[in-house]
Amino acid sequence: MNTETPGTIAQGLFARPSVLAALVLLVPLAAAWIFREQKLRASDPPSFSSFRFFLSGLFFWFFAACSIIALAGPRWGIRYVEDYYRGLDVILAFDVSRSMEVRDADGGGKRVSRLESGAAAALETRAACEGIRFGAALGRGGGILAVPLTWDGEVMRTFLESLLSSPMSGRGTNLEALLDAASDAFESGFPNRRVIVLVSDGEALSGSLSLALERAAAKDIGVAAFAVGTGEGGPVPGLRDGEGGAVYSRRRDDVMRYAAFRTGGIFVDGNLRDAAALLSGHLLSLAPGSFSGGKRRETRSREDLFAVLALVFLGASKVCVLRRRGNLSVLLASGVFVSVSLFSSCSRVPGKLLVMEGNMHSLGGRYALAEAAYTRALAYGDAVPYAEYGLGAACIARDENDAALEHFAAAAAALEKLPENRELSYRLKYNGGVALFGKGDYAAAAAAFRDALETDGGRVAAKRNLELSLLSMRENSEEKNTPEKGRGTQEPRMTAFFDYLRGREKSQWENREWPEEDPSTPDY
């Protein structure tokens, strides 16, 4: 279970300096007004009318104070909310200090260096973990990001193979700097689980590993400790002590186990034959195919409470100066209506606002931020189909067609529980067809576009895409039945697309009715 430190009222009220300044300025102004009113009332004979105007002004100041506090976003109290994740991001953090050159690791019947053993296991793990984003960081005294998070398996394979063939070791070991560099590589707005695979022998000559682990745990980053080397150790190549003797290095299991324990990760002994399989199995267990998660504890937002209080005080300030009973009744009825509307709809507003935020990010091409907003909107029931649709559209933009289809299916299932929405139903079927076409499943794409047209038969885009899917099916079928020697070099979908455009252009020119020429007009 993920936890978040409970906030206090003061933290919520004073988190924004501008709002705090407005609240501080309001206090002396209100005090000066009260002092002035008291002086005026002392000089004039007391009356019920003057008392009503005094109460009206007092309630107005309460209205202003509650409005400012609501803008500050006060938070207190605890609630548990669903924590959703989309997939898994992994940073392979390699300790490349001099001790990693010690050749005491098992490399398939022969002794290899610790770095070679860790790189080989990472290469096997990367090959087994399809659908997971990987990156890499190196610790050479300090920490550097060597490969940013990427879906490109070829980039990671090339980098890991370079670790096997090129010496990269440096002096000193600073696991704190290495973990910090790996933690900073994750995108804060992306709703993925985050794991650092620490490949090291556990020896640290500088830095504070415990502090780095605390910072990683605060960001909900787990550490899988992959320990290389042996407890007996071996001499560090090219390193001598003050008396000219060899310097020995031994694996520190206690350090690596602590790193895993502190962040809720696992410890893997790199000398085991199935070490890479254990690591890849752990990573795959954290990368579900759909959104999942546990409960996250967070502080409750209380700005809606102060917003309602502000409206109440504003209404009270107006009631105090009313003279006619009819006006009072109308005002009270309006106040009851506004209050009921606020309390009945306030739970729906945040989900819709999050969907709108995701739409804005998606239009700007900021798909990671869009997916984060859509994911948070999944906690609100009425917003689920719209959020799932937005996630699917973002997946199409990233060429993740399988994931897009999963989100569209989830949106359709959620939409069945809500009132009919023809536009969203059409978009789900239409974009499902786009995703299927991107996968090359032209028959299923054509069926999806037909379903979209059954929902709304006036959409030209669906008609064109249906024609293109049918042409692609025909071209694909003809290519399969054509001998290899006679096949063209064009992709089937491109050929079908050009045939489609050519046919439409020909039809456009043939169907146009031309007026008869006037022989008296000049011939240009």
Task: Dump the DSSP string for 342-391.
Answer: HHHHTTTHHHHHHHHHHHHHHHTT-HHHHHHHHHHHTTSGGGHHHHHHHH
Whole-number pLDDT of residue 296? 56
Instruction: Report the alpha-carbon distance of residue 95 to residue 97 in Å, rounded.
Output: 6
Whole-number pLDDT of residue 105? 83
Whole-number pLDDT of residue 72? 72
DSSP state of 79: E
The enclosing H or E element of 451 equals: helix 442-455
Quick check: 263 and 221 in contact, CB under 8 A? Answer: yes
Structure tokens at 17: 């300096």
Whole-number pLDDT of residue 496? 53
For the domain spanning 88-237+247-285, the CATH number is 3.40.50.410
Instruction: Report the alpha-carbon distance of residue 122 to residue 146 in Å, rounded.
Output: 15
Whole-number pLDDT of residue 199? 93
Whole-number pLDDT of residue 241? 72
DSSP state of 512: P
Whole-number pLDDT of residue 2? 37
DSSP state of 6: P
Q: How far apart are the first and last CA of the chain?
A: 80
From the list 211, 187, 219, 212, the residue with the least C-alpha distance to 198 is 212
Q: What pTM did the predictor assign?
A: 0.48
From the list 197, 208, 200, the residue with the least C-alpha distance to 96 is 200
Is the domain covering 354-510 a CATH 1.25.10.10 domain?
A: no
Quick check: 418 and 382 in contact, CB under 8 A? Answer: yes
Instruction: Report the alpha-carbon distance of residue 515 to residue 330 in Å, rounded.
Output: 68
From the list 327, 352, 305, 277, the residue with the least C-alpha distance to 122 is 277
Which residues make beta-bridge pairs with 82?
295
Instruction: Report the alpha-carbon distance of residue 182 to residue 215 in Å, rounded.
Output: 12
Q: How far is CA 88 from CA 132, 221, 243, 282, 292, in A?
A: 6, 11, 49, 11, 12
Whole-number pLDDT of residue 172? 61
Instruction: Report the alpha-carbon distance of residue 45 to residue 334 in Å, rounded.
Output: 35
Whole-number pLDDT of residue 225? 92
Q: What is the pLDDT along the chain (524 residues), one digit of tens a residue?
A: 333 333 444 444 444 566 666 667 777 777 777 777 777 666 666 665 667 777 888 888 888 888 877 777 777 777 665 555 567 899 999 988 888 888 888 776 678 888 889 999 999 999 998 878 899 999 876 788 888 888 888 888 888 888 877 656 555 667 888 899 999 888 766 667 889 999 998 887 666 788 888 888 888 899 999 999 888 888 888 777 777 777 888 888 888 998 888 888 899 998 888 899 999 998 888 876 544 445 556 667 777 788 888 888 887 877 776 654 444 444 554 554 455 444 444 445 677 788 888 888 787 777 777 888 888 888 887 888 898 899 888 888 877 888 889 889 988 988 888 777 888 888 999 999 998 988 888 899 899 999 988 888 888 888 888 888 888 888 777 666 665 544 444 445 545 555 555 555 455 444 444 344 444 433 32
The enclosing H or E element of 64 equals: helix 48-72
